[in-house]
Structure 1
Amino acid sequence: MTTRRSFIRQMSVSALSLSVLPSIAWAFPDAPVLRVAIMGLGSYGTRVAEAMRACTRARLVGVISGTPTKVRVWQERYGIPAKNCYDYGNYDQIKNNRDIDAVYVITPNALHHDAVIRVAKAGKHVICEKPMAVNARQGQEMVDACKAAGVQLLVGYRMHFEPHTLEVIRMRKEGAFGPIRFFQGLSGFIIGDPTQWRLNPALSGGGAMMDIGIYSINGSRYMTGEEPVWVTAQETKTDPVKFIKGIDETIQFQLGFPSGAVASCLSTYNANNLDRFFLDGAQGFAELLPATGYGPIQGRTHLGELQAPIVTHQTVQMDEMAQILLEGKQPVVPVDGREAVKDLTIIDAIYKAARTGQRVDLQA
């Protein structure tokens, strides 16, 4: 059975502190703190802000929003000074603000591209929520813009820091499962309000695949430790009124890997209780159920239940990203823009395969 000791080998002190030593910040009084402004003050932006209250290496210091009433509420709730508040018309001026190190872009998907490039040109590091863009071409433009500006681009892959996930990756790397043969990723829920931005292709860039299917795409890569070389896909749409053109309801997709391992995945906005990863090897297996929700994540392997700390994902993510941006720490699984472009390339291929009915080969 996997143990807490084996997990600790993979986690940094800051991540572990959130579950066992929440006041450990006193032990590192001189450690630099990443000062973050959040762009987009919706439900997920609020979740990140609340999680950052427990951070030891990252601090919320600014906001960017097109809604003045939200800005005022956040100022009062989080003690944000007026000089660190911007709207969508003037946030280029952030370049003159020495009190902000990075901007976390948490806006609808189709707005990420322009926002990230503007922030980069203002000389600030960028954290962008996933999917980083609506296609691989846009994603690469964002990566190139950040490189040209001399700033770093990270993406909100919170699962890359999640303890159960990291324990499965550690076991796979150490050969506990033997050669990997199969991965299954199930990602879906029944979406509600038909007027929300996620069902507007001009804002979302797609449907369930962009929102929830990306978890199975990304998970297939870090669970198997390989990059896919081919894709096939099939789309089903039962409600074309709710899921208009450009918004996928349900897509089943398959991935093939260089070793011969295969993945079978489902992405949907029309079924609940779908949040499961299953990894099968010649000598063992791992299951995460739930696999990507906000928590708690649970898992088991052929050796028994996974014993790993329960953490607030966004707190760990922001503390870890602070160390990446400020100290050059290398995460177990990358969270940079290049990682995101790989996912976007696969999404592009899945949409093409679903549209044409043909297998799409990916460049090695």
Structure 2
Amino acid sequence: MKNSRRDFLQKVGASALALQLASITSWGAKRETYDGPVLRVAILGLGNYAARVADAMQSCTKAKLVGLVSGSPDKLTKWSAKYNIPAKNCYNYQNFDDIRNNKDIDAVYVITPNSTHHDFILRTARAGKHAISEKPMAINVKQAEEMIAGCKQAGVKLLVGYRMHFEPKTLEVVRMRKEGEFGKIMFFQGLCGFRIGDPKQWRLKPEMAGGGSMMDIGIYAVNGARYMTGEEPIWVTAQETKTDPVKFKEGVDETIQFQFGFPSGATASCLSTYNMNGLDKFFLNGERGFAEMQPSTNYGPIMGRTNQGELTQPATIHQAVQMDEFADIIFHDKQPPIPVDGYEAVKDLKIIAAVYEAARTGKKVSVTV
């Protein structure tokens, strides 16, 4: 087993790769020619997921990879050659602030361990560049709110890598819910998990990750519960299970089951784990219908059905669509169907904090986002 959620997500959809590629080819062929402004992006942190984003951006029409930031000289050399990035657009973590003088870069996408997002996003804002953070945006609410304030003060936009907010099948379910096709929403279930590998990786270090499975994979269920029901939870209960206290040390959650209550009376039951493979399912139930998605959040293809039949929207390259949509948000103030700004990220972090408190105390915790 590979070492991270991203490696896991890469593998989950492999059996349906032919279908995905066919759908993606079809999707690509239907896109219109674009002659508007192109968002020129530097990626900061050149790890596995950054590579996926960089590769995906090769098919973007509204965004382009033009810069690199890394603490590894070897990576800068290899990446600049692979993606044809000029030396003047390559930075290390020490001279990164000089990016303020580079007029060829509009935005910086921070794809580093969770605890480093805060500093890099604030440095990005002070350099006058639009800031994009991978999720979770920060390791706590205080950091996230400081990031929002820093970007607002600098007059730059702050976006978060919620790629599922642009995924066609997901958006179709949200549309159906908004138009009342499921009737009154009663229940949501979100199952998110995989068996994590290398015990020395940063995701199992609380000072770098800000937690464990909840911060890494459970956030999909937290966020999904919100956009699938269209409501914000008002209470949380949670139960933690830990079978390996050596691997999952203090401050690193292995498995958490958590429940939400919503103002309408709807409820949610979710699971986040680093100790079970193949958990990637959303289920939404209403008085007149349902939606089931499995896989629901991996890199593709997303599969799903409702009481009306199979979801047939095309598969897409999530990161490519995300970056093109980010360009529209930054240049044209486009409002996406599901928010992808810093305030959206703060809501998730407030709920995750409530989940941790409920798991620790065994009590029902009120939450206001």
Tell me, yes or no, whether TM beats 0.5: yes
Contact 1:18 1:316 in 2 (8 A): no
Deviation, structure 1 residue 144: 0.7
SS at 2:55 equivalent = helix
Deviation, structure 1 residue 47: 0.4
Q: Work out whether 1:27 is the aligned partner of 2:33.
A: yes
SS at 1:103 equivalent = strand
Contact 1:163 1:308 in 2 (8 A): yes
- In structure 2, the partner of 1:235 is 240
CA distance in 1, matches of 2:34, 2:364: 52
Q: Alpha-carbon deviations, 1:251-310, whole Å to 9, x = none?
A: 000011000000000000000110000000000000010000011000000111011001
Q: Work out whether 1:149 is the aligned partner of 2:154.
A: yes
CA distance in 2, matches of 1:239, 1:246: 13
> Which residue of the other structure, out of 311, 315, 319, is the alignment partner of 2:320?
315
Q: Alpha-carbon deviations, 1:308-339, whole Å to 9, x = none?
A: 00111001101111111111111000000000
Deviation, structure 1 residue 27: 2.5
Contact 2:248 2:254 in 1 (8 A): yes
- In structure 2, the partner of 1:208 is 213
TM-score (norm 1): 0.93
- In structure 1, the partner of 2:9 is none
Deviation, structure 1 residue 23: 6.0
Contact 1:19 1:310 in 2 (8 A): no
Deviation, structure 1 residue 24: 6.7
- In structure 2, the partner of 1:284 is 289
The one-letter code of the counterpart of 2:124 is: V
Q: Work out whether 1:126 is the aligned partner of 2:131.
A: yes
CA distance in 2, matches of 1:78, 1:352: 45
Deviation, structure 1 residue 201: 1.2
- In structure 2, the partner of 1:4 is none
- In the alignment, structure 2 segments of 5+ residues that lack a partner are 1-22
- In structure 2, the partner of 1:13 is none
CA distance in 1, matches of 2:186, 2:31: 43
> Which residue of the other structure, out of 177, 180, 189, is the alignment partner of 1:175?
180
Q: Alpha-carbon deviations, 1:200-240, whole Å to 9, x = none?
A: 11211110000000000000000000011011111110000
Q: Alpha-carbon deviations, 1:5-35, whole Å to 9, x = none?
A: xxxxxxxxxxxx9653536777323x10000
TM-score (norm 2): 0.92
Q: Work out whether 1:65 is the aligned partner of 2:70.
A: yes
- In structure 1, the partner of 2:4 is none
Identity %: 66
Moved over 4 A (4+): 23-26
SS at 1:154 equivalent = strand
Contact 2:27 2:315 in 1 (8 A): no
The one-letter code of the counterpart of 1:86 is: Y
- In structure 1, the partner of 2:230 is 225
Superposed CA RMSD in Å reads 1.3
Q: Work out whether 1:256 is the aligned partner of 2:285.
A: no
The one-letter code of the counterpart of 1:329 is: K
Contact 2:57 2:65 in 1 (8 A): yes
The 3 A distance-change label for structure 1 pair 216 and 119 is same
> Which residue of the other structure, out of 273, 276, 297, is the alignment partner of 2:278?
273
Q: Alpha-carbon deviations, 1:173-225, whole Å to 9, x = none?
A: 11110000000000000001111111111211110000000000000000000
The 3 A distance-change label for structure 1 pair 144 and 18 is farther
> Which residue of the other structure, out of 79, 87, 93, is the alignment partner of 1:74?
79
Contact 2:280 2:294 in 1 (8 A): yes
Deviation, structure 1 residue 359: 1.0
CA distance in 2, matches of 1:344, 1:22: 35
CA distance in 2, matches of 1:152, 1:194: 36
- In structure 2, the partner of 1:114 is 119
CA distance in 1, matches of 2:323, 2:299: 15
CA distance in 1, matches of 2:284, 2:175: 13
CA distance in 1, matches of 2:339, 2:226: 11
The 3 A distance-change label for structure 1 pair 193 and 255 is same
CA distance in 2, matches of 1:112, 1:296: 29
The one-letter code of the counterpart of 2:167 is: E
The one-letter code of the counterpart of 2:223 is: N
CA distance in 1, matches of 2:31, 2:178: 32
